[in-house]
Amino acid sequence: MNKTLLIIKHEFLFLIKRKGFIIMTLVFPLLALTAIGIHQIIQSSSDTRPTDKITIGYVDKTGLFNINTPYNQYELVEYTANEEANKALVDGEVDEYVIIPADYINAGVIERYTQKKELEPSPGISWVVKDFLLNNLLEGLENQEVQLRVKYPLSFNTVILDEVGNITDAASGFSAFILPVMS
C-alpha cells in the first residue's frame, strides 16, 4: 500500500476517534436546528399582539386593484400618492405600505415600506398582500376552481424509488433530514 494512503488512513482514524470530533459531530446538527427554530420564532413573532389590527397601506399605480377583501387581523387602506402613504406610516396610521407600480403586470415586483428592521415580511403580511393581489387579478375569472388553482398551484407528493425503480418506504422531505440526525 502506498505510504501516503497509509498516513491519510492513520490520520483520518485518529481524527474521528478524538472526543472533540465526536462531540461536534453530534452537537453541530443540534445547534443548527436550534438556530433554525430561533429564527422561525423571531420571524413569526412581532411587536403587536394577535388581537391588534395590522394596517397595511397601498398605492395602486396600475388602477387594477380596487377590490378590498376584509381580513381578520389585517386592514388594507388605499392611498392615492406615495407621499400620502409615507406620511401615514410616519404618523403611525399604518404599520407599513406597499406601492404597486404601473409596470407590475410585466415585472411582478412591488415596493414595501416599513419602519421595522427585519429580514423579510412576516408570513401573515406576505399572505395578505399576495391574496389581495390575486383576488384583484382574478376578479373577472368566473371559474372558482381555476381561481383556487391559481392561488394554490400545487402540493408535492414525493415518492421515493429504489435503485431498480420500485417504490420504497423511505422518508422524504423534512423527516429525511431530521431522522438521521436524531438517531
CA distances from 128 to 24, 69, 78, 143 (A): 42, 10, 14, 22
Tell me, yes or no, whether 136 lies in a domain.
Answer: yes
For residue 20 the three cell numbers come to 472533540
Per-residue pLDDT band for 77 (boundaries 50, 70, 90) equals very high
Helices and strands in the chain, H and E counts: 7, 4
Tell me, yes or no, whether 19 lies in a domain.
Answer: yes
Among the residue ranges 25-29, 48-52, 54-58, 111-115, the one predicted with the least confidence is 48-52
Tell me, yes or no, whether 105 lies in a domain.
Answer: yes
Q: Torsions phi, psi of 76, nearest 5?
A: -105, 130
Q: Are residues 32 and 60 in the same domain?
A: no
Tell me, yes or no, whether 115 lies in a domain.
Answer: yes
Q: Give the integer Cα–Cα distance in Å for 43 and 118.
A: 8
- Count of beta carbons in the 10 Å neighbourhood of residue 154: 6
Q: Are residues 94 and 22 in the same domain?
A: no
| pLDDT, position 39 | 84
**pTM confidence score:** 0.57
Q: Are residues 78 and 122 in the same domain?
A: yes
Number of compact structural domains in the chain: 2
Q: Are residues 96 and 28 in the same domain?
A: no
For residue 111 the three cell numbers come to 415596493
Residue 137 sits in which domain range?
54-151
Place of cell 397601498: 58
Q: What is the mean pLDDT of the chain?
A: 83
pLDDT at 1 over 70: no
Q: Give the integer Cα–Cα distance in Å for 117 and 139.
A: 34
For residue 19 the three cell numbers come to 472526543
Write the burial class of residue 64 (CB in 10 Å: 0-12 exposed, 13-18 middle, 19+ buried). Answer: middle
Q: What is the mean pLDDT of residues 137-142?
A: 81
The tens digit of pLDDT for each residue in 14-51 reads: 888 888 888 888 888 888 889 988 888 887 765 444 55
Report H helices in 45-115: 82-90, 104-107
The tens digit of pLDDT for each residue in 148-183 reads: 787 777 777 777 888 888 888 866 555 555 555 555
For residue 142 the three cell numbers come to 368566473
